[in-house]
Chain A
Amino acid sequence: MSGSKSSARGDRPDLLTAAIFVGVGALGLWAGRTLDFGSLASMGAGFVPTIICWLLIVVGLWVGFLGLRRAYAPIEPAKLRPILVITASIIGFAFVAAWLGFVAASLFLIVTSSIADHEVRMFETLLLAVGLSIFGALVFVVGLGVQIKLLPF
């Protein structure tokens, strides 16, 4: 994604932006390819999305063009660990909540998400997990009446 470092030109965040805009625009055009465009007087379902997508592609190309002419600027390096751990623990939470209820899901979320931090402190994490799960159960499920079962049975 970052390209060769020796090239002196090109604002990498801007080029990434251009790629996102053009990509989303193209995806939108493809997803809406079967939608009826209609006319000004009676717009079809595809009228507005198609216009938005084309505008997005134009803006994306424009950002990319300007970005190429700017001085070199790098994208801040990404760290995989927080991305993977946090995403996995969020999705895991949903599955555990659906099968085993809120308490298990909350414990799971807090214990797994703590791996995202470098220094793992077992005792502190467990204490936090138990405390937050009790707090969450009382506030959300009992207090506010959020419709999640508390326990698996």
Chain B
Amino acid sequence: MEFLDLLALGFGAALTPENLAFCLLGALLGTLIGVLPGIGPTTTIAVLLPVTFFLPPLAGIIMLAGIYYGAQYGGSTTAILVNLPGEASTVVTAIDGYKMAQKGRAGAALAVAALGSFFAGTVATFGLAIAGPTLSGFALSFGPAEYVSLMIFGLLAATILARGPVLKAIGMILIGLLLGTVGTDLSTGASRMTFGAIELFDGIDFIVIAIGLFGFSEIIENLEKTGASGVKVAKITRLWPTREDFKRAWPAVLRGTGVGTFLGILPGGGATLASFSAYSLEKRVSKRPAEFGEGAVEGVAGPEAANNAGAQSSFIPLLTLGIPSNNMMAMMLSAFVIHGLTPGPQILQSQPQIFWGLVASMWIGNAMLLVINLPLIGLWVRLLTIPYRLLYPAILLFCCVGVYSLNNRIFDVALAAGFGLVGYLFRKAKCEPGPLLLGFVLGPLLETNLRRTLLISQGDASVFVERPISLTLLVATALLLLMMIVPNFRKNREEAFKGEEA
């Protein structure tokens, strides 16, 4: 019954008034930014990262996690009511959800989405609780060679599963890796890529890059496109779904939860991929495929369950192996690092209350979201009418304070503004900045472990294929590369992401 003891420890940690308050704050903020178009969870977490430095570690991490999964709830509300997906992961929800709303069944769609998300969140939380100790026990047997192979596999898989062209994503990862080398080299003491600037000797701060690439450049881009015009909000009717809705929705929720939990674990996976896959799965297994796009309740239930499950299970690789699988988890990793914590197998043993507290808070947060969302839907919808011209100065202020407070240096703010311009250029070049963050976070880890491996083996690179776990990972990497060359797979991948640009 050790498992229950640990879960009890987690609930004990998560149920302190302070942590409960931050969990609620995270869930509220997540819902808020999920509802508001033009600001996503990546930007919000980048903005709030510096703030978490002033909070106790667990409270800060609980809040950031709450923003991530809270945004999945909030995004679905606007997707259903106004056909305006607040988040990429809710794009498919809008297809059938909005149709249901037009037919006067908005309440049922919202309730199915919220209940499905809650169920999926519960299952994924248990998945995390079970997989955590098992996987991290496995990870304890990892040496530097295994970590190198794992990171190469993870980075490559992330480019294939993430949206956008693979080559561009690989290039963005490489730029991230290069940015990660800026500063004093830990093993030789040489200063690299600093162009003689003393401010860069300690490297570039993650927050400077994240706020520049996401916060600043997003504001510039949104202003260029001039604010969204008035939105028509569908009427909310009877909230409780009919018996028929329940009968059709629950198998879809089950399938969505399964798909989401699995895809969330994979590198590059997460909420967006999960919801798209769940939608196509529902369409394929349905006996009434013609109803999809015309307001099929399964088309809301499946993806909504999947995106929530995916959002939560993407914490698994980060918390057990210490390897973030997407840019959101790269943010979470730096939230740990701010407090001097390195997620991974060690933390599970040395500070179990952090891992289990986070797991417990996720379940509590999901329960809170159910309450926040269903009765308060009217309030969230009213927020949609806030014009962007009132919103962006506030976002800008939070970004600036966050960057400035790092070291009280003008340099950091100017550098972040520079990254804002770079991020703007990336957007013009149609490059997703997400993989860059992943590369930046993993770069130093990759280099250290690569050096360590080859130092131990005295320069013999065959060590990577002699160790079985490392070999398996490298073979998997090679298979991924091969798959990309096969045209059939490429076509399927492109189809899976079709419509995401909308």
A interface residues, Cβ below 8 angstroms from B: 13-14, 16-17, 20-21, 24-25, 28, 31-32, 35-36, 39-46, 48-49, 52-53, 55-56, 59-60, 62-63, 66, 75-76, 78-79, 82-83, 86-87, 89-91, 93-95, 97-98, 102, 105-106, 109-110, 113-114, 116-119, 124, 128-129, 132, 136, 140, 144-148
In the complex, what's the smallest C-beta–C-beta distance from A95 to chain B, in angstroms? 6
In the complex, what's the smallest C-beta–C-beta distance from B220 to chain A, in angstroms? 5
Contact partners of A78 in chain B: CB under 8 A: 224, 428
Please determine whether A113 and B420 come into contact, CB atoms closer than 8 angstroms.
no
B481 at interface (Cβ–Cβ under 8 A)? no
B129 at interface (Cβ–Cβ under 8 A)? no
Please determine whether B171 and A82 come into contact, CB atoms closer than 8 angstroms.
no
Contact partners of A45 in chain B: CB under 8 A: 185, 187-188, 190, 192
How many Å lie between the Cα of A121 and that of B398 in the bound state?
Answer: 22
The chain A residue sitting closest to B192, CB to CB, is A45
Please determine whether A109 and B223 come into contact, CB atoms closer than 8 angstroms.
no
Please determine whether A83 and B401 come into contact, CB atoms closer than 8 angstroms.
no
How many Å lie between the Cα of A82 and that of B219 in the bound state?
Answer: 9
Please determine whether B181 and A86 come into contact, CB atoms closer than 8 angstroms.
no
Bitwise, B417-438 to A at CB < 8 A (1) or not (0) is: 1001100111011110000000
Would you give 13 A-B contacts (Cβ < 8 Å), ordered by A? A13-B429, A32-B192, A40-B454, A43-B451, A45-B192, A59-B171, A63-B168, A87-B420, A90-B420, A91-B414, A93-B413, A94-B404, A117-B223
Please determine whether A146 and B401 come into contact, CB atoms closer than 8 angstroms.
yes
Contact partners of B414 in chain A: CB under 8 A: 91, 94
Contact partners of A35 in chain B: CB under 8 A: 190, 192
How many Å lie between the Cα of A40 and that of B460 in the bound state?
Answer: 8
Contact partners of A28 in chain B: CB under 8 A: 178, 193
Contact partners of A36 in chain B: CB under 8 A: 188, 190
Please determine whether B458 and A41 come into contact, CB atoms closer than 8 angstroms.
yes
Please determine whether B405 and A146 come into contact, CB atoms closer than 8 angstroms.
yes
B167 at interface (Cβ–Cβ under 8 A)? yes
Please determine whether B167 and A52 come into contact, CB atoms closer than 8 angstroms.
no
In the complex, what's the smallest C-beta–C-beta distance from B32 to chain A, in angstroms? 15
Q: With A49-B192, A144-B51 known to touch, is A94 a contact of B400 (CB < 8 Å)? A: yes
The chain B residue sitting closest to A62, CB to CB, is B167
In the complex, what's the smallest C-beta–C-beta distance from B394 to chain A, in angstroms? 6
Please determine whether B54 and A109 come into contact, CB atoms closer than 8 angstroms.
no
Please determine whether B397 and A110 come into contact, CB atoms closer than 8 angstroms.
yes
How many Å lie between the Cα of A128 and that of B413 in the bound state?
Answer: 22
Cβ-closest 5 pairs across A and B: A41-B459, A94-B413, A40-B459, A82-B223, A45-B190
User: Of B73-81, B376-384, B385-393, which stretch is located at the interface?
Assistant: B385-393
Please determine whether A66 and B167 come into contact, CB atoms closer than 8 angstroms.
yes
How many Å lie between the Cα of A32 and that of B55 in the bound state?
Answer: 39
The chain B residue sitting closest to A21, CB to CB, is B171
In the complex, what's the smallest C-beta–C-beta distance from B56 to chain A, in angstroms? 12
In the complex, what's the smallest C-beta–C-beta distance from B103 to chain A, in angstroms? 36
Please determine whether A94 and B396 come into contact, CB atoms closer than 8 angstroms.
no
Please determine whether B216 and A86 come into contact, CB atoms closer than 8 angstroms.
yes
B3 at interface (Cβ–Cβ under 8 A)? no
Please determine whether A128 and B405 come into contact, CB atoms closer than 8 angstroms.
no
In the complex, what's the smallest C-beta–C-beta distance from B60 to chain A, in angstroms? 11
Contact partners of B459 in chain A: CB under 8 A: 39-42
Please determine whether A132 and B193 come into contact, CB atoms closer than 8 angstroms.
no
Please determine whether B404 and A59 come into contact, CB atoms closer than 8 angstroms.
no
- Partner of B54 from A44, A60, A144 at Cβ < 8 Å: A144
